[in-house]
């Protein structure tokens, strides 16, 4: 009973800390970072439970949330995820993890956005062009956002794991034509490349399945297109999770995971993610969650199944649904499929 109350007190502390920080920072620190696509959740498992659970996410999916969780990978795994995001935007990701036994676990991943085709325009250079449209139609172009990551993670002991990731980031937003005061044209290529790093830890204090995690994501130097500098969306997270069935004599393989993540961002006020996941025999999962202090998506839900194709190959499929609460866009839907070498 005392240990159960301790777990509840820790969760209450995170909630009170969030409320205090939110009251202290009653404005949104927007406009201080770029490459915002890095903040979109990858993997239907995590998104389905409110993007909560950096202390419980394991395997290849962990590369996008907490690199330390990759150390929990028992078998080699390949993952593909597709996210139908808002405004006809989609996000795709692939990842692979290889267990090197006592040498740790290595992984690689690629994430890219699909914005479709957009109209490209430039400033009108003649009176005729200006009178007709006020601009020149330069045709269509497709913006590019992409991130390529390499990850290493290792269990230092049965209780502690750490992981790190380096990512190559690339943006291409096409070119634009401008006129200077002398009427001369200049062409600017709007491309950007950079590197950023993620770090994570995972700690089991020894009380049943209780787990703690801390992560730092998107750490980079300042970037610049023309004049104003900006950074990637630097994010610090703390998380706690536990199987609540551990409080009772539980001899089955069923579990009820409760996860809470507190988030501090460089470009926004504090956030809190709450998640719940029920697993039946490790074969079927249902999830729900709530994200606090987000412009897009509060409630989330999801489900997943795991199936052994053969003695050497397993398959896992997860789906998540995020309720878009503004009424301006369709609600994001994400599908994630994994092949696991048993």
* Domain boundaries of the chain, sorted by first residue: 2-36+50-73+82-282
Distance CA 65, CA 104 (A): 18
Mean per-residue pLDDT of the chain: 87
Classified as helix, coil or strand, 103 is helix
Residue 274: closest CA among 289, 257, 263: 289
Q: Model confidence over 166-203: pLDDT tens digits?
A: 999 999 988 877 666 676 777 778 888 999 999 999 99
Q: b/e map of 286-315 (b: 16 or more CB within 10 Å)?
A: ebbbbbbbeebbbebbbbbebeeeeeeebe
User: What is the reported pLDDT for 342?
Assistant: 76
Residue 72: closest CA among 207, 202, 237: 202
User: What is the reported pLDDT for 105?
Assistant: 97
In terms of average pLDDT, the best of 11-25, 86-100, 316-330 is 86-100
User: What is the reported pLDDT for 1?
Assistant: 52
Distance CA 81, CA 90 (A): 11
Residue 109: closest CA among 141, 139, 151: 151
User: Full-prediction pTM beyond 0.95?
Assistant: no
Distance CA 110, CA 236 (A): 22
Q: Model confidence over 114-155: pLDDT tens digits?
A: 999 888 877 766 666 555 666 777 788 899 999 999 999 999
Distance CA 148, CA 41 (A): 16
Name residue 314's beta-bridge partners: 308, 340
Rg (CA), the chain: 22
Asked if pLDDT for residue 6 goes beyond 80, the answer is: no
Residue 320: count of CB within 10 angstroms of its CB: 28
Asked if pLDDT for residue 59 goes beyond 90, the answer is: yes
User: What is the reported pLDDT for 24?
Assistant: 46
Per the CB < 8 A criterion, the answer to whether 159 and 209 are in contact is no
CA angle 274, 276, 278 (to 5 degrees): 170
- How many whole angstroms from its chain centre is CA 304? 18
Q: How many CA atoms lie within 13 A of 139 on its CB side?
A: 4
- Mean pLDDT over residues 6-33, rounded? 55
Q: What is the DSSP letter of 295?
A: S
Strands (E), the chain: 77-84, 90-99, 105-114, 118-123, 135-141, 144-155, 160-179, 185-203, 211-219, 223-224, 229-230, 235-243, 255-265, 271-280, 284-292, 299-308, 313-322, 333-341
């Amino acid at each position: 009973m005392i240990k159960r109350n301790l777990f509840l007190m820790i969760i209450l502390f995170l909630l009170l800390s969030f409320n205090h920080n939110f009251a202290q920072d009653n404005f949104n620190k927007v406009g201080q970072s770029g490459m915002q696509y890095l903040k979109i959740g990858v993997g239907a498992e995590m998104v389905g439970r409110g993007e909560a659970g950096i202390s419980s996410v394991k395997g290849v999916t962990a590369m996008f949330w907490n690199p330390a969780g990759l150390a929990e990978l028992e078998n080699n795994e390949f993952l593909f995820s597709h996210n139908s995001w808002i405004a006809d935007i989609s996000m795709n990701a692939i990842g692979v993890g290889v267990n090197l036994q006592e040498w740790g676990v290595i992984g690689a991943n690629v994430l890219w956005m699909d914005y479709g085709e957009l109209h490209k325009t430039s400033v009108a250079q003649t009176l005729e062009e200006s009178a007709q449209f006020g601009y020149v139609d330069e045709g269509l172009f497709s913006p590019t956002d992409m991130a390529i990551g390499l990850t290493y993670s290792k269990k230092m002991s049965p209780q502690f794991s750490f992981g790190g990731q380096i990512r190559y980031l690339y943006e291409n937003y096409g070119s634009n034509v401008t006129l200077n005061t002398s009427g001369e044209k200049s062409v600017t290529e709007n491309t950007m490349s950079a590197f950023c790093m993620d770090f994570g830890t995972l700690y089991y204090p020894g009380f049943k399945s209780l787990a703690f995690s801390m992560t730092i994501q998107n750490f980079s130097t300042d970037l610049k297109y023309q004049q104003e500098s900006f950074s990637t969306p630097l994010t610090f997270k703390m998380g706690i999770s536990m199987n609540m069935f551990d409080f009772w004599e539980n001899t089955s393989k069923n579990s009820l995971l409760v996860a809470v993540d507190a988030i501090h961002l460089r470009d926004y006020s504090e956030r809190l993610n709450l998640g719940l996941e029920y697993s039946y025999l490790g074969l079927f999962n249902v999830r729900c969650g709530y994200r606090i202090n987000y412009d897009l998506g509060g409630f989330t839900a999801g489900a997943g199944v795991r199936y052994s194709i053969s003695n050497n190959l397993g398959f896992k499929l997860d789906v998540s649904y995020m309720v878009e609460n503004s009424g301006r866009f369709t609600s994001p839907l994400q599908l994630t499929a994994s092949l696991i070498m048993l």
